[in-house]
């Protein structure tokens, strides 16, 4: 009994055990509120008292300074088109004046409320609590919106991934939209480059603003730089009286447009190649599903040599079973598990304010582990719960796209502004996400209204009772809105509204969607034909090279030897010279010379895939519907027909 009491006293004297506080749950403090039934052993990861509050205070205030002060300034700085550090800083300060003014207005309103309240005294602690409450309120507002979308969309996305037909049709839809965006990006880049060319031709080498033009030119693609360099005369002096020159302010604006246009063009080009690979792979899966050999066959095998993993483990047979059979069932099982997690989260969000009886499922699970001091179980339960909540919230952040203003693209194609904006959202969402989790497991005394020892995290949050209408109203009842958001996401109400407003969205029962799917299917088919022709041409050249060697080098070597022999035979007699010349000048038969000349003329053709047609009548007549052949003549058009 004494051992149990001393152990209980030791456990209750420990402010917080480690690991859980670092994951914003402080679940090690859960032992304080339960009756001692078994011996409480010291955890292996125990952290002494007083360390975790300091750690959380540093992390919290650092993230708040980043999200509310530094990152907005860095966004404007990165997006600015200034040519100097001072100019970029000035632009960033002007753009953020309204942003910072909004903060001051919200904080001032809350400050006035506390000042006129008769029961509250204004102190530094209350001011700190007001600032934290304002930040957490804004973060909780975003949290519920993003969480309501992610709880439904993540399980549904995995379920749809198991439907290969649906996934392929949606890929066709994306291809059609991406091709339109790619064409707009190319057109925008050409317009901006044309403006840069005009400005570059008007401002000569000895003009004071020429250094700004050189900075802009370095941001342009290499092919445009070469064109502008060839069409420019750097030795022509400028005349201030005859010509009108752009101002520095207009060059700053042009610099900003160039950065945006080049980045957008590169992003759409890379995304198109990635989407093309996905579409080809999905079409290969659809073809291999009916294969009787149970071996996965790719339409365009990789040119890179296969590694040991592909040779010994991920063989074509294993790949067939995974892609055509196991993968779909794995995604379906994962979707069902995630759906159950989503249901538990929605139920707990709507009932976590009820402490008697305890209705929150997460609180019930944790309280069951409290009785036996099951430290490992509590750690794993807290980790899995927070991991699922973070996945639902943060994955929604990656899916958000506000036109081309904010967009996270894969394969390193995201601009600096969007990266910093996502960093701001992560910093703003993390503190309210931690508080929401503590409310779900009834460890936040401001919500559960129970007298418990505060966790390390809630100790730095302050008492929310300073603003009672937020602690007793907004924090408790606003998360119930997640039910309405989940229902709206399940029936795709947001997608339907955007479609009505003219934004093309993927909908199964839409005629516009069907048209875009057909267009995307044709685009993918055209790109596959183009890639097939390139691959066939490479195979033919490889076969000719293996069969006849390198005809260019052989032909050049024979010309050199013939020329040397002609020089050596020039000093001999006329008869012997003629015979030797006839001997050495014939490097082979007539057929061999014709073959060498034929291969010498067989140059690769630069063409546009849109120029080709599937109509055999057009192919025979030699007519092409659009498209430009950069290097082709009538004598070379049928060069490989007989090969």
Q: Using one digit for the tens of pLDDT, what is the confidence trace for 139-183?
A: 888 999 999 999 999 999 999 999 999 999 999 999 999 999 999
Q: In the block, which residue shows the tokens 């997690």?
A: 341
Q: Count CA within 13 A, CB hemisphere, residue 434.
A: 24
**Burial class of residue 491, CB neighbours in 10 A (0-12, 13-18, 19+):** exposed
Rounded to two decimals, what is the model's pTM? 0.73
Q: Residue 406 in 3-state DSSP? A: strand
DSSP letter at 47 equals -
Q: What is the pLDDT of residue 15?
A: 37
pLDDT in tens, 407-447: 888 888 888 989 999 999 999 899 889 988 988 888 877 66
pLDDT in tens, 543-575: 888 887 665 555 555 566 555 554 444 444 444
Helix axes 327-351, 416-440, angle to 10 degrees: 60
Distance CA 166, CA 377 (A): 40
Q: What is the pLDDT of residue 633?
A: 37
pLDDT in tens, 501-536: 888 888 877 888 899 999 999 999 999 999 899 988
Q: What is the pLDDT of residue 572?
A: 47
Distances (CA, A) of 557 to 547, 561, 580, 587, 595: 18, 6, 18, 10, 16
Pick from 157, 151, 149, 147: which is nearest to 334 by CA?
A: 157
DSSP letter at 66 equals I
Tokens of 405: 């203003």
pLDDT in tens, 216-268: 999 999 888 888 776 555 555 555 555 677 888 899 999 999 999 999 999 99
């Amino acid at each position: 009994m004494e051992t149990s009491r001393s152990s209980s006293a030791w456990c209750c004297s420990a402010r917080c055990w480690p690991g859980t506080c670092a994951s914003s749950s402080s679940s090690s403090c859960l032992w304080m509120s339960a009756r001692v039934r078994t011996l409480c052993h010291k955890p292996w990861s125990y952290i002494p008292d007083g360390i975790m509050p300091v750690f959380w205070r540093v992390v919290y205030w650092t993230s708040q300074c980043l999200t509310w002060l530094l990152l907005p300034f860095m966004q404007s700085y990165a997006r600015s088109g200034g040519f100097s550090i001072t100019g970029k800083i000035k632009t960033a300060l002007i753009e953020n004046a309204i942003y910072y003014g909004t903060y001051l207005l919200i904080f001032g309103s809350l400050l006035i409320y506390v000042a006129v309240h008769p029961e509250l005294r204004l102190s530094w602690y209350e001011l700190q609590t007001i600032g934290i409450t304002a930040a957490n309120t804004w973060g909780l507002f975003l949290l519920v919106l993003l969480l309501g979308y992610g709880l439904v969309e993540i399980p549904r996305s995995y379920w749809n991934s198991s439907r290969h037909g649906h996934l392929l049709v949606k890929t066709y839809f994306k291809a059609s939209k991406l091709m339109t965006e790619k064409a707009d990006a190319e057109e925008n880049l050409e317009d901006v480059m044309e403006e840069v060319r005009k400005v570059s031709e008007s401002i000569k080498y000895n003009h004071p603003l020429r250094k700004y033009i050189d900075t802009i030119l370095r941001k342009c693609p290499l092919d445009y730089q070469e064109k502008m360099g060839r069409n420019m005369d750097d030795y022509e002096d400028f005349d201030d009286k005859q010509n009108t020159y752009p101002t520095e302010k207009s060059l700053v604006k042009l610099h900003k447009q160039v950065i945006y246009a080049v980045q957008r063009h590169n992003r759409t080009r890379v995304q198109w190649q990635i989407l093309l690979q996905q579409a080809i792979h999905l079409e290969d899966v659809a073809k291999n599903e009916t294969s009787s050999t149970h071996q996965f066959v790719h339409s365009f095998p990789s040119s890179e040599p296969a590694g040991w993993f592909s040779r010994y483990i991920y063989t074509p047979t294993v790949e067939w079973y995974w892609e055509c059979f196991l993968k779909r069932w794995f995604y379906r099982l994962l979707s069902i598990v995630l759906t159950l997690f989503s249901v538990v989260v929605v139920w707990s969000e709507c009932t976590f304010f009820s402490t008697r009886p305890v209705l929150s499922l997460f609180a019930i699970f944790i309280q069951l582990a409290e009785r036996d001091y099951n430290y490992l179980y509590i750690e794993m339960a807290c980790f899995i719960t927070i991991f699922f909540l973070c996945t639902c919230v943060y994955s929604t952040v990656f899916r958000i796209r506000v036109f081309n203003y904010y967009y996270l693209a894969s394969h390193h194609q995201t601009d600096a502004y969007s990266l910093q904006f996502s960093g701001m959202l992560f910093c703003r969402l993390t503190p309210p996400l931690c508080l929401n989790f503590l409310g779900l497991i009834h460890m936040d005394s401001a919500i559960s209204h129970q007298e418990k020892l505060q966790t390390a995290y809630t100790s730095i949050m302050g008492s929310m009772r300073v603003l009672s209408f937020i602690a007793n109203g907004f924090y408790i009842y606003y998360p119930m809105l997640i039910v309405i958001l989940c229902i709206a996401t399940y029936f795709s109400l947001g997608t339907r509204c955007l479609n009505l407003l003219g934004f093309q969205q993927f909908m199964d029962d839409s005629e516009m969607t069907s048209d875009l799917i057909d267009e995307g299917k044709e685009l993918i088919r055209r790109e596959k034909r183009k890639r097939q022709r390139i691959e066939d041409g490479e195979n033919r050249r490889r076969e000719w090279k293996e069969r006849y060697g390198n005809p260019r080098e052989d032909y050049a070597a024979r010309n050199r030897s013939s020329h040397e022999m002609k020089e050596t035979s020039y000093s001999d007699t006329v008869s012997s010279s003629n015979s030797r010349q006839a001997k050495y000048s014939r490097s082979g038969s007539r057929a061999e010379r014709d073959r060498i000349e034929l291969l010498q003329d067989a140059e690769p053709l630069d063409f546009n895939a849109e120029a080709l047609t599937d109509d055999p009548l057009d192919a025979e007549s030699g007519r092409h519907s659009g498209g430009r052949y950069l290097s082709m003549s009538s004598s070379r058009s049928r060069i490989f027909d007989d090969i």
